[in-house]
């Protein structure tokens, strides 16, 4: 059973941003100000939402407003001012500091985001806040996704159970860093900030930064991690358990993104070992995962290992003749690929999907 971490409320409503009249505006409300971490796309061309949230992320956070149906990106010269107006008006409505609001957007690039529709929806958005609104918030951030992505875990502590609740959206334009997605992870655990950030970064590197659907990086990729700081984790055992469960939630959400990859019929796990470094192992895995030739071969259940050798060479990795390559049954939905580079002792796992005619259809019609 999902239980919202203490100190948070959620809502999700329709405000008319989507043509199909589906839920498109969500709110995460912090009853007290929350400690926040943000991990953003490395794309040089970013949305106005990313620009503003990067500026505010170091402050105590009162709320995150999220919209789907519009990327809020490269639409007009006053886009950033419009975005600042949305967050300032929300701060005013919540009697909060204007720099305590984060914003996340997803959808079409180049279309002006209707601040009027969003601001006029604030009374309904706030009125709908509750502890039982995980489903409606999750729905509010979806675009081409075919299902809601929610993951939950609890950690036993002396002060009661600490909770971790994560939401994600994403199906296409998935590539590190940080895969093409919006992710919101809420917890009521209290940890020293340096440790909190270290745990989050390691978990994100092993999950959201280790997945790819099509090698295309978005302008809006964002992972927000918020702690309401209600439940102190005191012992090393409790902190270790928190780190384990945090990683589990992140990987759970990341694999959902791949399983929902646009047009995907297969989930592919690529395990690299025998690399000179962890970075090389990851580079090797992602080169294979981003190879359209390899992904098409998996779709066709064609065990053409030459595609793997070519992808490794493309990554600048020279491998000896006869390196061990293992493939599970390619006619199944879940595929395991294991490659031993025979160059060192480091390993890394990445995740991807096959490339199908349906992927082309979806993106040919996306506008």
Answer whether 38's CB lies under 8 Å from 53's CB. Answer: yes
Q: Which of 151, 71, 148 is nearest to 103 (CA)?
A: 71
Residue 180 designated active-site:
yes
Number of alpha carbons in the 13 Å side-chain half-sphere of residue 93: 21
Counting other chains too, the contacts that 85-89 makes at CB distance below 8 Å and 24 or more residues apart are 85/115, 85/119, 86/113, 86/115, 86/118, 86/119, 87/52, 87/56, 89/119, 89/122
Calpha distance 121→65 (Å, rounded): 12
**C-alpha distances out from residue 266 to 272, 314, 356, Å:** 19, 24, 10
The single residue of 180, 219, 222, 352 carrying the catalytic annotation is 180
Q: Is the peptide bond before 235 cis (omega within 30 degrees of 0)?
A: no
Answer whether 328's CB lies under 8 Å from 261's CB. Answer: no
How far, in whole angstroms, is CA 51 from its chain's centroid?
17
Answer whether 137's CB lies under 8 Å from 178's CB. Answer: no
For residue 130, what is the DSSP state?
B
- Active-site residues, by number, are 180
């Amino acid at each position: 059973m999902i239980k919202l971490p203490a100190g948070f409320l959620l809502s999700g409503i329709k405000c008319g941003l989507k043509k199909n009249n589906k839920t498109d505006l969500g709110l995460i409300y912090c009853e007290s100000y929350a400690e926040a971490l943000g991990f953003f796309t490395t794309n040089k061309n970013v949305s106005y939402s990313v620009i503003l949230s990067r500026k505010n992320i170091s402050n105590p956070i009162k709320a995150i407003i999220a919209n789907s149906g519009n990327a809020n990106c490269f639409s007009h010269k006053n886009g950033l001012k419009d975005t600042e107006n949305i967050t300032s008006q929300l701060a005013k409505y919540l009697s909060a500091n204007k720099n305590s609001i984060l914003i996340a957007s997803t959808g079409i690039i180049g279309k002006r985001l209707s601040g009027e529709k969003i601001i006029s929806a604030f009374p309904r958005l706030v009125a709908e806040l509750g502890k039982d609104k995980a489903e409606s918030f999750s729905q509010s951030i979806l675009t081409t996704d075919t299902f809601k992505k929610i993951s939950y875990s609890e950690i036993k502590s002396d002060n009661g159970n600490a909770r971790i609740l994560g939401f994600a959206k994403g199906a296409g334009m998935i590539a590190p860093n940080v895969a093409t997605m919006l992710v919101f992870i809420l917890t009521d655990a209290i940890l020293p900030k340096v440790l909190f950030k270290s745990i989050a970064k390691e978990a994100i590197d092993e999950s959201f930064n280790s997945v790819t659907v099509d090698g295309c990086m978005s302008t809006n990729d964002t992972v927000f991690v918020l702690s309401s700081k209600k439940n102190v984790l005191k012992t090393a055992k409790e902190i270790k358990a928190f780190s384990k469960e945090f990683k589990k939630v992140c990987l759970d959400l990341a694999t959902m993104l791949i399983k929902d990859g646009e047009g995907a019929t297969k989930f592919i796990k690529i395990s690299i070992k025998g690399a000179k470094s962890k970075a090389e192992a990851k580079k090797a895995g992602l080169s294979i995962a981003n190879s359209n030739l390899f992904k098409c071969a998996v779709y066709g259940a064609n065990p053409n290992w030459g595609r793997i050798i070519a992808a490794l060479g493309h990554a600048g990795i020279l491998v000896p003749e006869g390196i061990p390559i293992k493939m599970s049954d390619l006619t199944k939905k879940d595929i395991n690929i294991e490659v031993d580079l025979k160059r060192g002792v480091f390993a890394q796992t990445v995740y991807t999907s096959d490339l199908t005619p349906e992927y082309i259809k979806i993106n040919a019609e996306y506008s």
